[in-house]
Structure 1
Amino acid sequence: MESWPWPSGGAWLLVAARALLQLLRADLRLGRPLLAALTLLAALDWLCQRLLPPLAALAVLAATGWIVLSRLARRQRLPVATRAVLITGCDSGFGKATAKNLDALGFTVLATVLDLNSPGALELRACCSPRLKLLQMDLTKPADISRVLEFTKAHTASTGLWGLVNNAGQNILVGDAELSPVSTFRSCMEVNFFGTLEMTKGLLPLLRHSSGRIVTVSSPAGDMPFPCLAAYGTSKAAVALLMDTFSCELLPWGVKVSVIQPACFKTEAVKDMDQWEERKQQLLANLPRELLQAYGEDYIEHLNGQFLHCLSQALPDLSPVVDAITDALLAAQPRRRYYPGHGLGLMYFIHYYLPEGLRRRFLQSFFISPYVPRALRPGQPGLTSARDVAQDPGPKPGPSPTAQ
């Protein structure tokens, strides 16, 4: 019987030492998950010995074992005690589900809603404890934000504010960046970025005093150029970078900052198909004639249909996102990034490690498949090729679209 090469044995020694340490600290349990992980590592070892040089096999096996054991570890949680948390955007979706979960755990929850009489607000009032306080707030209105900040400071004077969950956000329109009005970009930035910035800055004195947590719900659309989500994705990219900056700057104060990047989940906003149809009709009605002729109404219809099909595949169970937010608030060492939902690991691997052409084709096939604008279809009047543009780079006669 062949003996294992020394690199493989060294990797197993490292994995065994890590597992033993976790078992002694009660971070790891003996059970089927651990047995399954060890079986997979043994299969990986068998493959590595036959396909890789000894040192490469050592690196792959040791790294995989370390990551697997880290995933299996039971993360140490802080006690809830009298901790208070403010959550924005609790009318529906992740905000409402998180407010219910944190209230059940014993948190003092301050939940902001757009409408105190909305179905979501009424549901929270009916099913949660008296500790939960509902606060009306529109992130585009400075007076609302100031009122919520003052209430929070007064209401947490004795307990302190442990956490802020920046959940409120909006996506207004599905369409190419050229088709999206500038006002759409401004609206998304106003809620998703500036509203989050103002809330975070306003509560930082309380969070610094408690060495608390900031948890912000962003989106993979802020990391990758999803077709037709330019306004939404740009605002989410901005807020993710802002949180990374806060994470570095607040480290000396003991404030930990986490960003949640969820997959597509079936929230109330996702399920409301009528709103997307209404927004599509508004886009068609207000689109400049030149753009409508260049792209074509069927192009916009295709985008909307593909987007609605993608939403129909959304995950119905919101608990992975709620669990990620809860872990970011209570874990002794929370992660900087959480990726709840299926398929995100593969998506990010493709985005970061594969060539640009493959990345683009993957996003198109995963989200919205390509569709040729009307002006680029063969036989259409006004078809302009790249060669034509290169031969005649000068301005064409006619009125300037900015002169209207």
Structure 2
Amino acid sequence: MESWPWPSGGAWLLVAARALLQLLRADLRLGRPLLAALALLAALDWLCQRLLPPLAALAVLAATGWIVLSRLARSPRLPVATRAVLITGCDSGFGKATAKKLDAMGFTVLATVLKLDSPGALELQACCSPRLKLLQMDLTKPADISRTLEFTKTHTASTGLWGLVNNAGQNILVADAELSPVATFRNSMEVNFFGALELTKGLLPLLRRSRGRIVTVSSPAGDMPFPCLATYGTSKAALALLMDTFSCELLPWGIKVSIIQPACFKTESVQNVDQWEERKRQLLANLPRELLQAYGEDYVEHLSGQFLHSLSQALPDLSPVVDAITDALLAVQPHHRYYPGHGLGIMYFIHYYLPEGLRRRFLQSFFISPSVPRALQPGQPSLTSAQDVAHGPDPNPSPSPTAQ
């Protein structure tokens, strides 16, 4: 089909004018997102010129460019002024980095840590302004949460509490759901869900008064069945659904709720290889005999090796997550969900639009591809034999040629 350069030129002129205006207003930044968007528009332009009539090509390209630039535009920001924010889990990682940035911006930061003498807590004390206050809090202890609530009410009496950043969380086990003790599921729920629920509910009177913000760091593992992240993923799924519910219920009060779904970043806990090795050893030492025989020690070792390899690919720069949290706190119209990090767009597209088999294979190739359990390997005892182990020895065993 003959190409039609003039509709394409008109659409590009409109897109360029919009982009230039946004750049002059500082609503748009030059960077990889903008360059990627322009590359996609160029590909769409090529496709439209070959498949559509001139006016239809003009309409599609112009509308797509307008929508893309609207999505890339930064929402107008509210002034920091004397806003106060409570951030949980500031010993390391996203919490510590966010506390530093918000303090530098002029926020009054209340930062909770597990230990006041932890390296992260001491670092915050040394490098931040006197406005930043450290609070010791363990989300599994109601007394700690109650003390934090009272401290927050007292120290925000004059300014009000503008925001809560639910960042604290933990992932303590990487294993199949069947291999994961029920106690591990409960522990993950206590920290990642119930602790955040209790703290958020306790602070809602202050947040309703300020018509403030709730920002919660969740995980794509709460949206997709990542292999061997059942304990962590189920708790994050519950947390995300809770925040979606709060988002609807608190809308009349003027409270805006955002969820951060980051890719894998190199936080301190991610890089602690010795910690993951120790947890693997504890898992193997405490596995019931039947499960150890059915899956095999090699299976668990393989999972651990693949997990550690995936962590080695984690992103070193935490600023995309910190920027997303900051935008959720200060944007006039914050997004309900943020996806900081590379590759998440493709991952979610595959998860929502491709067949289940392809989704499963993608997650296995991207994260962990489990090996074949021992009981399913050729030459091994059948599943029936493996199940018989769980029921105990045969009361009338046949003589064994090797019995002593």
Q: TM-score under structure 1 normalisation?
A: 0.89
> What are the Cα deviations for residues 79-131 of structure 1, in whole angstroms up to 9, with x where unaligned?
10000000000001100010001000000000000000000000000100000
Task: Tell me: CA distance 1:268–1:396, structure 2 relative to 1, closer, same or farther (3 Å).
Answer: closer
Counterparts of 2:373 and 2:30, CA distance in 1: 58
Give secondary structure in 1 for the equivalent of 2:214: strand
User: Which SS does the other structure have where 2:116 is aligned?
Assistant: coil
1:35-55 Cα deviation digits (max 9, x unpaired): 986676355313222135778
RMSD, aligned α-carbons: 2.9
Shift of 1:369: 1.5
Q: Is 2:331 aligned against 1:339? A: no
- Give the aligned partner of residue 238 of structure 1: 238
User: Match for residue 120 of structure 1?
Assistant: 120
Contact kept, 8 Å, 2:227 with 2:368, in 1: the verdict is yes
Aligned residues with identical type, % of pairs: 87
Q: Is the 8 A contact 2:175 2:303 kept in 1?
A: yes
* Cα distance in structure 2, aligned partners of 1:114 and 1:185: 21
Amino acid at match of 1:204: L
Shift of 1:285: 0.7
> d(CA) in 2 for partners of 1:332 and 1:147?
32
Gaps of 5+ in 2: 393-404
What is the rounded CA distance, in whole Å, between the counterparts of 1:291 and 1:45 in structure 2?
56
Question: Which residue of the partner structure matches residue 194 of structure 1?
Answer: 194
Task: Provide the C-alpha distance between the structure 1 equivalents of 2:185 and 2:368, rounded to a whole number of angstroms.
Answer: 20
Counterpart of 1:157 in structure 2 is: 157
Q: CA deviation at 1:73?
A: 2.1
Corresponding residue of 2:140? 140
Structure 1 regions of 5+ residues with no counterpart? 386-394
Letter in 1 for 2:314: A
Tell me the residue number matched to 1:249: 249
Q: SS at 2:368's partner residue?
A: coil
Cα distance in 2 for residues equivalent to 1:357 and 1:133: 49
Preserved CA contact (<8 Å) 2:290 2:389: no
The 1:132–1:55 alpha-carbon spacing in structure 2 relative to 1, beyond 3 Å, is same
CA distance in 1, matches of 2:31, 2:268: 38
How far is the alpha carbon of 1:382 from its aligned partner? 2.5
TM score, norm. by length of structure 2: 0.89
Distance 1:172 1:180 in 2: 10
Q: Could you say which residue in structure 2 is the equivalent of 1:167?
A: 167
Give the paired residue count: 391
CA offsets per residue over residues 138-169 of structure 1, 9 Å max, x none? 00000000000001001101100000000000
Change (3 A) 1:359 1:86: same
**What residue identity is the alignment partner of 1:399?**
H
**CA distance in 2: counterparts of 1:56 and 1:189, whole angstroms:** 52
Alpha-carbon distance between aligned partners in 2 of 1:188 and 1:194, rounded to the nearest angstrom: 9
SS of aligned partner of 1:149: helix
Q: Is the 8 A contact 1:260 1:325 kept in 2?
A: yes
Q: Counterparts of 2:240 and 2:34 in 1: how far apart (Å)?
A: 34
**Per-residue deviation, 1:357:** 0.5
Structure 1 residues 142 and 56: alpha-carbon distance in aligned structure 2, compared to 1, 3 A threshold: farther
Distance 1:398 1:115 in 2: 43
Distance in 2 between residues matched to 1:316 and 1:364, nearest whole Å: 23
> CA separation of 1:168/1:66 partners in 2, compared to 1, >3 Å: closer, same or farther?
same
Change (3 A) 1:2 1:97: closer
Using a 3 Å threshold, how does the CA distance of structure 1 residues 240 and 58 change in structure 2: closer, same or farther?
A: farther
* Match of residue 400 from structure 2: none
The separation in 2 between residues aligned to 1:65 and 1:151, in whole angstroms, is 49
Distance 2:170 2:216 in 1: 14
1:399 correspondence with 2:386: no
Following superposition, the deviation at residue 398 of structure 1 comes to 6.9
